[in-house]
Structures are given as C-alpha cells and as structure tokens.
Structure 1
Amino acid sequence: MENAHNDRFKEALQASRKTAKEAYKESLFFADEVKYQVEELTRNIRVQTDALLREKDAENFSFFPVLSGIARKLEMQTSESMQDLRHSIELKKKHLNDFTVALFGRTKAGKSTIREALTCGDGGTIGMGAQRTTRDVREYHWNGLRLLDVPGFEAFKGDDDTAKAHDIIDQSDFILFLASDDSIQPGEFDHMVRLQEINKPFMILLNVKYNINNEAELKRFVRIPHKIFDNERLDEHQKHIRSYVKQHMNIPYVKIVNIHADAGFKSTQPAYEAYNADLWRLSNLDEVHNAISAEVQKRGKQRRLLTFYDSVIYFADTLEKMMFEEQLSIRTQAKFMVKKRKELSAFFDRFSSDGEGRINTACKKHFDRIKQWIPDFVDTNLGSSNIDNLLTSRLKEEQDVLKSKMEGELQSIVSELQEKLAEFTKQYQFDLELLETDPVEMNGLKKGQVGRIAKWGGVVVGGVSATAFILAQVGIANFWNPVGWIAMGVSAGAGLFSWLFGDWEEKKWNKAKHDAKEQLTRMIDDAHKKAVESYLGWFDRQIIRKGKKEMLGQVSVYINGLFGIANELKVFSSEIRLRKMNMNKKLFAKLLSFEGVNCTESQMIALSREQGRGTKIMVPNEWQMVGGIKTNIDIICGEQVHLFSDTPNITERICRALYPADVTPDMIQLSEVVESRQQEATITVPTREKGKLIGKKGINVRLASEITGVKLIIP
C-alpha cells in the first residue's frame, strides 16, 4: 500500500514537472510580448520629446527638461519592471523539476526545527531565525520536494528585504505557514494576507511549544500527550486564526495542523533512540507530510501552473495599474496646466493694462513739465539770434532725461513682471504638489503592488505628480524662465525730437509771442504722442506680445506633450490589460481541462478577475457546467470563481453576472446610451440581497460591471 502511495506521488511530481515546463514557455513568451510593448512605449514617448527638441529655440524651452525627465522616469520604471519579470522567470527556470514548499512564519516559530526534523538534520540551523537576507534562505530536498527554510518576518525590515521575501514566495508552489501556541500575534496574520495577494496556497502549522528537553518532561509528554495537546486550548487558537483568515482574506476555511516541532526533530536524533517512534508519532509531522503529499497528488499540476501563470499575471496587473495611475497623474497635470494657461493669459492682460497706464503716466508727467517752461522760454528768448541753439540744447537735455527715466520705468515694469511671474510660479508649484491621484484608484492597488510600484520608481504612492518630482530636479528659477526672451535694450526714445529741430530751424521768428508759444506747444504735444506710441509699441511687441505669445506657446506645447505621454500610457495600460486577460483565459482553460472540461481560451467570451479575490468567466450559452467543477476551481485558485453562460439579452446577462445575488430583470433599469458614454444600469434589490450584490469590498459588482461592459449603479 505504501509503495502504491509512493508511486502515485512520483507520478504526480512527474506530471507537475511537465506542466511547469509548458508554463515556463508560456511565461517566457508573455515576457517577450511585454518587452516589445515596453520598447514601443518608450520609443513613442521619445519620438514625442525628441520632436520638441527639434522645435525652434528648443534650447530655451524651459518645459522640455520636465517632459524629458518624465520620459526618463517612465523608461526607468518599465526597465526595472522588466528586470523583475525576467528575474522571476529565471528563478523558476532553475527549478522546473522541483515542487517547492516554503516554511514561512515569524522568528522562533519553529521553522528550522521542523525542517531539521523532515530532513533528518543535525540541528545545526536551529535558533538561526534572525538571519536577514535571502543568502540565509536554506534550501533542501526532501522526498522529491524542494524545501525552503525562510528567515522570520522580523528579518525583513526594509524594502529590499521585503522584495527578497516576495521572490521567495513567488517561486514557491505551496506555503507552510507557522504559528506557535505560546504567542500568536495579530501582525503574523498580516503576512498571510501577502500570500493571498500573490495567490499562494498555504496551510497553517500550529506549533505547540511544550519543553521536552529533560527526561521527566519527555516521559510526561509520551505518557499523557493529550495534556500537552490540550484540544480545548488549541481549538480556541484555531478558531481565532480561522476567524481572522475568513474576515481579512475571505477564505472560508484553512487547514490547520497542530504539531510539536521539537518532538519531530528529537525523533531523528540518536540520543533519543528509545523514544524515536513515539516522538515522531506525537509530533504529528506525518499529517503534515500526508497533507503535502495529497496536495501534490490532487493539485500538483495546478499548483505548478499557478506558480508561473499567477506570477506573470500579478506582474501584469501591477504594471497595468502603475501605468494607468501614471497617465491619470500626468493627465491631471495637463488639465491643471490648461487652467493655469488661462490664468497666465489673464495675468498678461492685466499686466498689459497696468503697464500701459504706467507708460502713459510717465510720459505725460515728463511732457507736462516741458510745456510748463515753454512760455517763459519764449518770453525770454524770442528775438534772440541764438534762440535755435538754445531750444535745441534744451530739448536734447529733455530727450536724454526722458530716455533715462523711461528706461528706468520700463526696467521697473520688467522687474515687476519677473517678480509677479516668480510668485505665479511658486503658487503654481505649490498647487501642483497638492495634486493627488484619485484615492479610489489608489485603493485598487494591493499592498504588494504599492511596494513594487515604489520600487519601480513610481511616484503614484506619494500623491505627488511627476512634474513636481522633476521640478525639484530642474529648480524653480529655471522652470518658467519668465523674462529670458525679453531684450532689455530700450531705444524707443532715441532721436525723439530730431524731426522737431529741423522743422523749427525753418521757422521765422517774426510772429507774435502768442503764436510762437502755441506752435511750440503743439509740436511738444506731437512729440508727446509719438513718444507714447513708441514706448507703448515697444512694450506691446517686446513684453506683452512676445512674452505672452512665447510663454503661452511653451505652456501649450507642454500641455500637448503631457496629453501625448498620457495617451501613450493609457494605450499601453489597455494593451497590458488585454494580455493579462488572455493569460487569465489560458490559465483557466488549462485548469478546466485538468477538471475534465475540454476548453480553450478562445471559447471564453469574456473574463474579469481580481487575482486572489474573485473571477467571473462568461462562456457560450450551450455549455453545460457541472457544479463540482466550479467548486474545485475555487479551492485550487483560492478565490471565488463564477462561470456563467452568455445571453443576447443584456438585462439577463447582468443578472447572471451578479450571481450569487438573486437579481431578476425587473430589478434592472437600463439607461439609454448618450453618444459614446458607457451604458448604465440601475439595480434595485431588497435590502437582504445588497450584501451579496455588492460583494466583499465591492468585488461582485465591480467584476460584473467589467465583464458585461455596463456601469452598474446601486442606489
């Protein structure tokens, strides 16, 4: 009987190896496809930013470094993500023939003791639970299995260590999660949640830490084991664990085995030869061995398949969400900049009006002063043979004074422009840093994904937009470059009175003083008008038109660049989503085939999945589904899997998609499609059905909405 059991175990291992090799090829093909998409994404973004560089005066385009910085950041993100994917696949490639079991738990829970017992070790690794890196992960082979003894939770204190722990779990097919009866901490179960995030199956070993280091205690243990394995006490521990798993992981049942790790280890040691058989039996490690053996025989192929497929699907899901969040962030910036462009345009309009007023006031003040001395000048000098020279000299002095004062006034106006633009820029940066990604979208990220996105260089988790991130590198002073394009040479006043002198010299001083005063005043008024026109023209050309046009032009190009990058990311995210769905279809087609259902991914009409939480699959209407198939896949995947038949009636399709909620067509009110908007359906159900309709954390209605393509509204 034992030989037959061993033969079935070996056959199951052999079958799982074949499955692993096929899954490896699919994973590699998937990685190559994603790599091509990543290269196309970076190439398209670079084409856009390079086109900006070829624009006229691109070297003065102060927004270009920001767009270029965003492009570099995205290249870094995608490059690191592809390295992670390749690393994950290559790790698994090294162990295609191995069904891998990882011992996972807190420090001093007894992992190394159990491993030493299972592999008949000498105890040399016991008590080394504080090791800190994956170099300290100990690998063994036991009864055809690959066994990993992983450092305790406390060892993984930083992001790098957490990533290493993720690698270990990622390459494992099954997890033995250890807890001990002496100190069960709520924090331990947080690590169980991580297992669910990457969809890893596990069982819990509850290690009884009764001391049998002296002979009296050992004999007592052998003689009255039920005193140590106190069912009432241990059942309470198990109840507590199962309650947490059900509440936080939505897993209705998890297998828990009470063990005594030290008894198992001592049973393999010569010093305890007289008690070997009893110690091994009482350790309960046979039940652990039998559970793993049963897992391999029943689901070995499925577990190996899931190790490869769920790993790349989890990767794709993370990359898709990261890029979708990035495009939302960038698109938010672009919309923000559209608003700021309007504000900037209004700012220039206000500044133009203020500047024109200052120029008019300054010119009027100067020419009013000139006209004040004209009567006295005429009275004093009319009839003098030297009056032309005196007038020319006086007007040249006035021209120099006007030129000096107006240059100072214009310099003051430009300085004020610089100051106000600097204030505008600071406020812009402050407002920009307050921009945050939609919290609803952020809640869609799992804990493990947030960590991975942070590792890949995403700024989503910080709530700070990419531009604000780049601004910190570029520097606020160089960002707008607000007056670098303004030529400060002010020559509008040069030669202002030259026409007047020549005309004056031709005049005959044979008229009355009154006529001379009026004629000279009119000429000064003309000079005043020409001076104002000249200075206002310069101000309009050099400050307002050029400044407003060039700066708003920069902003417009930047906005278009942001929208362009956001659109590329959105397309990329959609393509990754499609590839992820196809991988999910392949996965479930294979899982169904293992259950005896002849199915290909092309036969699946639609699929919607939140890994580790739930899956809905729409299949042809003529399919006949056996209830047991669904149950088996639920157990295998560790998530609720719902298969339902398609129907041309949209309300009936929605009803089927919303299972397990009891929804009938009369409870659904469809809204008409307006232009290209998504179709909506309002669903009104009895209060008792709302919980099932929505599902835990909204998963049922989300998946149903996605698979039907209809926005579902629950009032």
Structure 2
Amino acid sequence: MFNRSQSNHTSSNNVELEHALKVCNSFAEKGYWVAHDNLKRTGHAIQHVESTIQNTLESIKKSQVHSPDILDSIQQQLNNVMGDLHTLQRDSEAKLEERRKHLKSFNISLFGRTMAGKSTLMEILTNGDGKSIGKGQQRTTRNLRTYTWKGLTVTDVPGIAAFEGHIDETVAFDAATMADLIVFLITDDSPQPAEADCFVELKKLGKPILAVCNVKTAIQNSEDLMDFLSEPDYAFNAKRLNELTEQFIKLVDQHLPGASAPFIAIHAHARYLADKPEHSKHRKELLEASRFAIFEKQLIRHVIDNGRFFRLKTFIDASVVPMYKLSEELLRFKEQNFSSNRVLAKKIMQFVNWNNSFLKRGTEKIDAFCGAMGSTLSAEIVSFAEDNYENKNAGDAWDKVVKSLNFEKKSSDLMSNLHKEAEAFLKEFFREVNAELTLVDSLKSESIVMPKITDTRKIARWLGVVATGAVTLAAMLGPVSWMVVVGVAVVSGFFSWFTDSKDSKAAKARSKLESTLEKHVEKLKKHYRDSLFKWFKHELIEKQIGLVESNLHIISSALSSLANTQVELAEILKDRQAEMNYELVKESLKDIYKNEFVDGLLRVARAPGYMVVLCFQEGFNPPVSYREKLELLLAETVIFIVGDYTDAEVLQHLFKHKLGEQVHNIVIDSELKVARVPLDTLDEETSYLAAIAYQLTKLHVIV
C-alpha cells in the first residue's frame, strides 16, 4: 500500500528522539542479558548431549562393526552435529559480545541493490559533496560506510543482487544482523527476484523493515529539472508505483507469504539537489517534490514509538534466529534418519526371512546331494564286488570308481552355487536398500547424511571368496581311507579262502566286500554331509551372511541413536527459543496492552519473520484490534490461541487455510510423534507452520 501524502514536515522533536534513544539503551541491556543467560544454559545442555554422543560412539565401536566405512560415516554425522552446535554457540556468544560494545547505538542499515540510491541517501543525511554517489557503474559501495544522523548510527552496506556480488552480500547480511532497523530501497523500474530474495532473508533474520521506493526520474539538466518540478505527480504515478510494488510483494510471497511492507515513495536525487547551492532558488520546490520529509518523519517516528522494542528484539533474535534454523535442520535430519531406519527395519526383516529360507534350501540341497551321491555309489557296489572280490588292489579300484563319479567337483559346484545364490540376493538386496533410502533422502546436505549401507564391490569380501573349483574334497574332507577300508575286507576273505568251497568262498567274499563298501558309502555320505554343513552353516551363514545381518542391525541402532540425539538437541534449542520469544512477546504486550494480558500468556511459538502464536489462559482473549497492533510491531502474522487445545485442534487451526476441508484428514501417530498433513509438497509456508506446530505439540509434521 502506497503512502501518497505530500506533506513536507520538519524533523521530529529532537528532545523526544533523544529520550527515546536513552530508553532504547535500557531495553538493549535487558535483551543482552536474556540472550546471554539462555546461551549459557544452551552451552551446558550441549555439553551434556556431547557426553551422551561419545558414549554412543563407544558403544558402536564395541559392537565390532566389520565395515569401518559405515562406522566412520555415522561418527562423522554425530561429530558434524556437535560441530554445528559448537559453531552456533561460539558465534552467537561472540556476536552478542560484539553487539554489547555498541549497546548505546541505535543501528540502521541501508539495504538495496546497486544503484538503488543508498549512497545518495547517505549524502542527503550527511550533507555530503556527492563524491560517493555512483555514476552508472555497478557495485559502487564495496565496504561498510557508517555515519551518525540525529543520534542514530546509519550503515550503508554493499549493494545486493549485483553480478558476482556474493562477497558483497555476505558483508551486507553480516552487517544486517547488527541492525535494529532496515531501510530497504527498491527503484521504480522492474523489481528483481534477487531483491525479493534478499528482502525475505532479512525478514527471516527477524528484522523490522522500512520499505522505500526510490523514483529514478532523471534530472540531468535544467530542462529535466523544470519538467520534474512542473508536474512532480507524474513521477509518482500511484497506479504505476502500486503495480510495481505489488509485483515485488508477489515475488516475496513466493518464499515468505504475508511478509510485505508498505512502501514510501521518494525521489532521493531531487532531495539531494535541494541542498546544492546551484539549485537554491528551487530548494523549497525540490524538498516538497522529493517527498523526502515523509520518509524522514516516519523513520524518526519508528524509532520513537518502537525503537526500544526493536533494540530488545535485535539482541534476542540474534540468538533465536540461528537456534531456530539449526533446530529445524536437526528435525529434518531426524525425520530423514527415522525414515531411513524404518526402511532399514523392513529390509532387515526381509533379510532375516531370506536367510531362514536360504538355510532351509541349502540344507535340503546338501541332503539331496549326499543322498544322490550315496545312491550312485550304492548302485556301483554289486557290479564292483562281482568284479573285484578277488582283487588284492580292490581299494585302488574302488577309489578310481569314486573319483570317476567326480563328487569332488560336484560338491565344489554345490558350494559355489550356494555362494552365488547368496551373492545374487545380497547384490539385489543392497540395490533395493540404497534405492529405497534414496526415496526418503529428500534432504541434500554435506554435513549430515544417511550413511551408504554398502558398496557392491565389497559384497565378495563380506561373503568370503569361494571360487568354483577352489574348494576340494582333500581340503574340505581331510584324508579319505578308501584303500584301508577295502584292504581289510580283502585280507579277511583271504584267511577264509582255504576252509570253504570255491562258490561259497566267492559268495562270502562278494557279500563281505559289498557290506564293507555299503558301510563305507554311509560313512562317506556322513563325512560329506558334516563337512558341507560345517562350511554352509558356519563359514557361509554364520561368519559371512551373519556378519552382514549384524552390520545392518548395528547401522539401524546407530541411526536410531543419531535421530534420538538430534531430537534431544532440537528440544534443547526449542526450549531456549521459547524462553527468549516469551520475553520478546511479553514486552510487546506491555507496549500495547499495558500489562492487561501479560499474566495470561502461557507460551509462545514463533517462526521469525513469518508468524508468532500466543497461547493464553481461558478468559484472556485480546481483541482483534490488539492483534493487528501487535502484528505491526512484530512485523509477523500473529495468532491467538485461548484455552486448552488438543494437538489435533492446534494443527487444524494452523493448517486450515492451507487444507480447507482436508484439515480433518490430518493423521497423528503418537507413538512416532508424527503428524501427517495431506499436502502434495512441503513448501516454504508449510515449513514455517510445521516449525510452529512442533513447538506447540512436539509433533513432527510430514506431508
């Protein structure tokens, strides 16, 4: 909405402003101690959680994970979480102390893209000679420029949205964190998305913003000057400027709905020219036509009316905002890890079921192989005994028969096939695991990521190397005494040869040899079965496949520990935010309601720059007009919740404008502490609502 007033008021009473700035100092001191005490308590809580994390890591190490890369990945995640928290703590404390050095300064930062008129504005406020004003080039202001105006500290920051101006923007936003009020300039040409992005980022810092549109109608010569002064309203065409600012607001709403601010239109260059000696005869006309007095009056009135609250907010939000961002990040990663763990739990169950089935199939195949081997050998016994009952070298002959049937190669093939079946399953299993985990991995981060479960190149190492033909009966079964067993039968037949008839002797020798061979076949079957089962169950199932299952369980346990740690840390940050936001809102209530509703305030949930929810006791219900005043002061959407509400009712209240009738389809899983909201995508607005929902219900919203 455009302020079209052309009144040219003088500066507000300097005495009133001076008094307001003294009050600001006391509020800044209070904000410092609120932030200081909460940061100190946060530090103690972080130390406690860090101890818990170290115990978790030690527990994982003792579990003897045989894949160091997995352990390293999990440990790196935990270490990165703590690193982020220590960085937050260290930076917040350092910046807080830096702000305290400027406790008596009310800080205003001028923001805008290059050539928006920031330098011109500085020249006006400091009565400069114009040397700092850009002449058409990009990125005129490369460093911070600070000056004093009416007791206020004004900082001109590097221009935003410039080509290759990332470093400049970093400097600018770092300065913005120190500001109590932002003056944000756009121009009356087409608004740029990059400008809107920077506006959103400033709002997310919780900064109050005074928005200014600098009309750039050229005044290059006397003819331009006379044209401008003859019809100044032409430059300030309300319809054109309103359309332009509406375009800007739409760009902002894409990322932060409802974050728009009313714009004040000025012609900065005209106001600058009014102070130049060569334009002294047109000074009064230029002052009025520039409409600069309207901006100046509103800026001073902002400081007088709300400055004390802005100073308190600067100190509190300097700690709240980074805590909010990190707690949201932790909760997103927690949900990612919980989702990954749920996927993993299902896959582990699939793995266990396959392993049981594989054990049964492998056992049946070994039994079948040994049975077939026995049948084959038994079928050879009669004819062999007929041909060899008189053979002194029957043992050698039988050994040749056994070897000719190639049981050694067949057993090796059986082992190789079982190995290949396991390998094929595991390759497909881990392909599915990685694919399904990718589906839940909607977050891309370099610091906290789901560990890669396996590398298919390592499958062979996990299973052990069992190449076809590499395992022989000699290695697997040990020495086999074919000739010793058969030799005994031949010697026994030799001593009975002299006492029986020839036919009787032959029959007895055949029978004796057959009996001995049958016993040997049974012994051989048992030896094969025992040896194959030992390899299958101990070497393949227990040592190799069991190792994979053990690793999966350890990963699942570690993911669960990681997610629980992230929840605990997010809870710590949430509690600290709640206390600081409570103090902030309490002061705003005092500002507007004169303590009328402060005693009824129970708790506060807030997404800085977007929305704040105030929960009151039954009987404390501020009127709508008060809520509107509070929204102007906080520059955030304000929602009142009065009385006791269930979690479901809170969620319905927050999401009703997004879901309509679908709001009743929100599903709460109390066990998992999750609320499933029927939306297609998790857009920016939903993310803010989800953050507030978590603060009020401890339920993590997923769509």
TM-score using structure 2 length: 0.79
Deviates more, 1:241-250 or 1:287-296: 241-250
In the alignment, the residues of structure 1 paired with residue 102 and residue 133 of structure 2 have an alpha-carbon distance, to the nearest angstrom, of 26
C-alpha distance 501-572 of structure 1, shift in aligned 2 (>3 A): farther
Question: What aligned pairs does 1:550-561 form with structure 2 within 5 A after superposition?
Answer: 550-561=547-558
Of 203-212 and 517-526, the range deviating more from structure 2: 517-526
Deviation at 1:393, TM superposition (A): 5.8
1:160-199 correspondence runs (5 A): 164-185=171-192, 188-199=195-206
Q: Which residue of 2 aligns with 1:619?
A: 616
Judging changes above 3 Å, is the alpha-carbon distance between structure 1 residues 706 and 295 closer, same or farther for their aligned structure 2 residues? Answer: same
1:242-641 equivalent positions in 2, closer than 5 A: 251=258, 254-360=261-367, 362-363=369-370, 370-371=377-378, 373-384=380-391, 386-387=392-393, 390=396, 394=400, 398=403, 402-403=407-408, 406-407=411-412, 409-411=414-416, 413-437=418-442, 457-458=446-447, 466-468=450-452, 475-478=455-458, 481-484=461-464, 491-497=475-481, 500-501=485-486, 504=489, 507-509=492-494, 510=496, 511=505, 512=507, 514-516=510-512, 518-538=514-534, 539-595=536-592, 597-598=594-595, 604-621=601-618, 629-641=626-638
Whole-Å Cα distance in 1 between the matches of residues 367 and 287 of structure 2? 103
Candidates 15, 22, 25, aligned match of 1:14: 22
CA contact (8 A) 1:104 1:152 kept: yes
Tell me if 1:109 matches 2:94: no
For each residue in 1:398-455, what CA deviation from the matched residue of structure 2 results, as whole angstroms up to 9, or x when unmatched? 4996456534642453355334423432332222222245xxxx9xxxxxxxxxx96x
Candidates 100, 104, 127, aligned match of 2:107: 100
8 A contact 2:374–2:522 mirrored in 1: no
Counterpart CA distance in 2 for 1:480 and 1:159 is 48
Q: Which residue does the alignment assign to 1:449?
A: none
What do residues 187-227 of structure 1 show as CA deviations (whole Å, max 9, x unaligned)?
64444333333332222222221222212222343444344
The Cα shift of 1:699 comes to 8.5
- Quick check: 2:10–2:297 contact (8 Å CA) kept in 1? no
5+ residue gaps in structure 2? 1-8, 497-504, 657-662, 676-684
- AA aligned to 1:482 is W
Equivalent position SS for 2:323: helix
Q: Go from structure 1 to structure 2 and tell me whether the alpha carbon gap of 1:160 and 1:434 turns closer, same or farther (over 3 Å shift).
A: farther
Letter in 2 for 1:49: L
Of 42-51 and 612-621, deviating more is 612-621
For residues 230-289 of structure 1, give each alpha carbon's deviation from its aligned partner in whole angstroms, at most 9, with x where no partner exists. 455445545666787789866598432221111222334455455445434432222222
Q: Which runs of 5+ in 1 are unaligned?
A: 443-452, 460-464, 662-667, 681-695
SS of residue paired to 1:605: strand
How far the C-alpha of 1:374 sits from its partner, in A, is: 4.0
Q: Tell me if structure 2 keeps the 8 A contact 1:603–1:620.
A: yes
Shift of 1:104: 1.9
| Alpha-carbon contact 2:145-2:157 (below 8 Å) kept | yes
In 2, Cα distance between the equivalents of 1:467 and 1:259?
A: 55
1:583 CA drift (Å): 1.4
Q: CA deviation at 1:151?
A: 3.1
Report which stretch shifted further, 362-371 or 514-523: 362-371
How far the C-alpha of 1:530 sits from its partner, in A, is 1.0
Q: What does residue 445 of structure 1 align with?
A: none
Shifted more, 206-215 versus 74-83: the winner is: 74-83
CA distance in 2: counterparts of 1:413 and 1:476, whole angstroms: 18
Letter in 1 for 2:519: M
Deviates more, 1:570-579 or 1:582-591: 570-579
Query: What's the secondary structure of 1:507's corresponding residue?
Result: helix
- 604-613 or 172-181: which moved more? 604-613
Counterparts in 2 of 1:484 and 1:270: CA distance versus 1, 3 Å: farther
Output the amino acid matched with 2:574. R
Aligned-partner residue type, residue 583 of structure 1? M
Counterparts in 2 of 1:240 and 1:517: CA distance versus 1, 3 Å: closer
Q: Distance in 1 between matches of 2:414 and 2:697?
A: 68
* Contact residue 418 and residue 482 of structure 1 kept, 8 A: no
- 1:684 maps to none
Distance 2:83 2:136 in 1: 35
- Larger mean CA deviation between 522-531 and 326-335 belongs to 522-531
Q: In 2 relative to 1, CA 62–530 (structure 1 residues): closer, same or farther, beyond 3 Å?
A: farther
Change (3 A) 1:176 1:559: same
- Asked if the contact 1:130–1:152 (Cα under 8 Å) also holds between the matched residues in 2, the reply is no
Tell me the TM-score normalised to structure 1 length. 0.78
